[in-house]
Amino acid sequence: MTNNKTVLSWIDEMKELLQPDQIVWIDGSEEQLEALRKEACESGELIKLNEEKLPGCYLHRTAVNDVARVEDRTFICSKDEKDAGPTNHWKDPQEAYKMLFDIARGSMKGRTMYVIPYSMGPVGSPLAKIGLEVTDSIYVVLNMAIMARIGKAVLDVLGDSTDWVKGLHSRCDIDAEKRYICHFPEDNYIISVNSGYGGNVLLGKKCFALRIASYQGKNESWMAEHMLILGIENPQGEVKYVSAAFPSACGKTNLAMLIPPEGYTKAGYKVWTVGDDIAWMRIGKDGRLYAINPEAGFFGVAPGTNEKSNPNALASTKKGTIFTNVVQNLDDNTVWWEGLDKNPPTNAINWKGEPWNGKESDEKGAHPNSRFTAPAINCPCISSEFENPEGVPISAIIFGGRRAQTTPLVYQSKDWNNGVFVGSIMASETTAAAAGAVGVVRRDPMAMLPFCGYHMGDYFAHWLEMGEKLGDKAPKIFNTNWFRLDDEGHFIWPGFGDNFRVLDWIINRVEGKVEANETAIGFVPKAEDLNLEGLKDFGVDELQPILEVSNEQWAKEAEGIEEFYKKFGDRLPEELHNQLETLRNNVK
């Protein structure tokens, strides 16, 4: 399929190391993929679901010890430990290669090695990058076929270029004690052993699209960010695009596929999804920042996804989808998970493969991190610009977190550098869902803490440099917090589709249509400028308290920020120290 010498030489190395019985190149054809689906069903790796109700859909169960990303087993293997930074686990590259190759040696005896050429981003896009993954898992092949653009067309675009990322995945023995996901940013290499779970083995996803790409972006003057991308269309048909970063459990996928409130919809407003998880952004010919979604599918968490919380995500799963670790309803051979509806099946099999009666069992049927891998083109609100090789121009960048107090519903940073400061101090409070104490502030800068492939202090510096390059064409930066609580612990802001009201204000600010109140932390809306029309029992009196900024609370916040910044030592840019000092002075 290719004459690329670097590719062929690496495949020879892999063949010698892994010793597969046979090698199959994935050409991207539907015939080949269909044959693999059939083979996976015959071996029990996949279960074919009801063709009438869920056409082209399959169920997969992982090993019980292999159900999520393993951050304590995820390493950045830079030559110098300091370059990995204090927020990553580090291994010496030479030691790591030896250890990983020893674990993987001969692991594909009796198995097939699949070679997957894939493009992150539309094939041939100037913003796209290419990778090759070798794997012994049909599940990985079929998921990558949904999550990336795969096959011969990718190799044709690669030609004889050496700019591609190597990815070795071997299931080995699914041994949790020998499970490693290692990234070699200086070598464009990813190695994953002893896992079969998507987040650890679909190497195009977090491994390439964030950890390796963030390092590439720093060196090549672009950005790889853990961000959704959405378009907001007004009644005149004009579309403005925003990207947004939120830590987990902050409603990122819901915002990416949001349906505006009825009043807005009737007036002709629409929301278009470009991406739900990752944005690659480069400066375009006109000097503005342009973004693509490097992925071709959604790898979403199933529990909690339903007709009310995210109808567009649910609709995306209705065909051509692979479900992982959900409930199989034996009555009609469909799937179910907690939070889908209030009718759990009684004649079912749970995620572990055991008989399960949803009306009687105390145990959950679906794993809390169970997943769907769905083609993005299934999404009813997918943007017409989804495959645009040039990307979409970004007008605003939104950061957010889950804070019971302190942070207002929305505020705008004073300028780009202040916006980088806002992103760098992003935080959420732990909820009951997380292990440990509730209400502990966890900082997750730009929602990149687990995904930045190099020293985070250098990452902040890269953001500041991008701002210099963009100049007055830089997107405006905002921060949102949908999660303010009242004294009884109830959410004050209605959230979900009503978050569109905040997006509307953000676009109005970008276009200079509304004024704002200046506070110690940035610009906060005037209450009358947020459209509350159609909201029941929620008016300006309810809105006012969640727009207020308490200098006392922010003085305390500044102490927490200083403590967090100490981690980065002398690699923290001076500008962020200055921003913190300005905040301290502002809240005095």
Q: Tell me if the domain spanning 225-295+384-587 has CATH number 3.90.228.20.
A: yes
Question: Cα–Cα distance between 203 and 356 in angstroms, integer?
Answer: 33
Q: CB atoms < 10 A from the CB of 403, how many?
A: 21
The pair of three-digit structure tokens given for residue 488, joined into one six-digit string: 């009884």
Residues near 559 by beta carbon (within 8 Å), at least 6 away in sequence: none
529 within 8 A of 514, measured Cβ to Cβ: yes
% of residues, the chain, pLDDT over 90:
96
pLDDT tens per residue across span 428-454: 987 654 445 667 899 999 999 999 999
The predicted pLDDT at position 433 comes to 46
Nearest of 197, 59, 205 to residue 131 by alpha carbon: 205
Nearest of 445, 406, 394, 360 to residue 288 by alpha carbon: 394
Strands 355-356 and 348-349, sheet pairing? antiparallel
- Cα–Cα separations (whole angstroms), residue 310 to 109, 305, 349: 44, 6, 25
331 pLDDT band, cuts 50/70/90, is very high
Phi, psi of 243 (to 5 degrees): -120, 155
What are the residue boundaries of the structural domains of the chain, listed by start? 5-45+70-220, 225-295+384-587, 298-378
Handedness of CA 530, 535, 541, 546 (dihedral sign): negative
Query: Taking the mean position of all CA atoms in its chain, how far away is CA 422?
Result: 20
Strands 74-76 and 89-90, sheet pairing? parallel
Helices marked H in 209-310 = 213-220, 252-256, 262-267
Question: Cα–Cα distance between 210 and 372 in angstroms, integer?
Answer: 20
Question: Cα–Cα distance between 289 and 474 in angstroms, integer?
Answer: 7
- What is the enclosing helix (H) or strand (E) of 300? strand 297-301
Q: Which residue has the tokens 């996928």?
A: 253
Half-sphere exposure of 240 (CA within 13 A, CB side): 19
The edge-to-edge listing of strands for the beta sheet with 371-375 is: 47-48, 58-60, 322-324, 371-375, 297-301
Query: Which of 13-17, 307-311, 352-356 has the least mean pLDDT?
Result: 307-311
- Cα–Cα separations (whole angstroms), residue 499 to 284, 396, 447: 29, 15, 19
DSSP letter string, 197-220? SHHHH-TIIIIIIIIIHHHHHHHH
pLDDT tens per residue across span 536-583: 999 999 999 999 999 999 999 999 999 999 999 999 999 999 999 999
pLDDT tens per residue across span 217-227: 999 999 999 99
Query: Which of 124-138, 247-261, 382-396, 509-523 has the least mean pLDDT?
Result: 247-261
Residues near 277 by beta carbon (within 8 Å), at least 6 away in sequence: 226, 227, 228, 252, 253, 256, 293, 295, 298, 299
pLDDT tens per residue across span 139-148: 999 999 999 9
The predicted pLDDT at position 336 comes to 98
Return the HEC string of 415-444. Answer: CHHHHHHHHHCCEEECCCCCCCCCCCEEEC
The predicted pLDDT at position 434 comes to 44
Question: Cα–Cα distance between 57 and 40 in angstroms, integer?
Answer: 13
pLDDT tens per residue across span 147-191: 999 999 999 999 999 999 999 999 999 999 999 999 999 999 999
87 within 8 A of 456, measured Cβ to Cβ: yes
pLDDT tens per residue across span 403-422: 999 999 999 999 999 999 99
Residue 272: strand pairing partners: 231
Return the HEC string of 4-28. Answer: CHHHHHHHHHHHHHHCCCEEEECCC
- Cα–Cα separations (whole angstroms), residue 21 to 108, 109, 136: 7, 6, 11
Nearest of 54, 35, 47, 216 to residue 114 by alpha carbon: 35
Q: Tell me if the domain spanning 5-45+70-220 has CATH number 3.40.449.10.
A: yes
Average pLDDT of the segment spanning 517-522: 98
Q: Which residue has the tokens 């492939």?
A: 453
The CATH label, of 2.170.8.10, 3.40.190.10, 3.30.2130.10, 3.40.50.2020, for the domain at 298-378 is 2.170.8.10
Active site residues: 250
Average pLDDT, the chain: 97
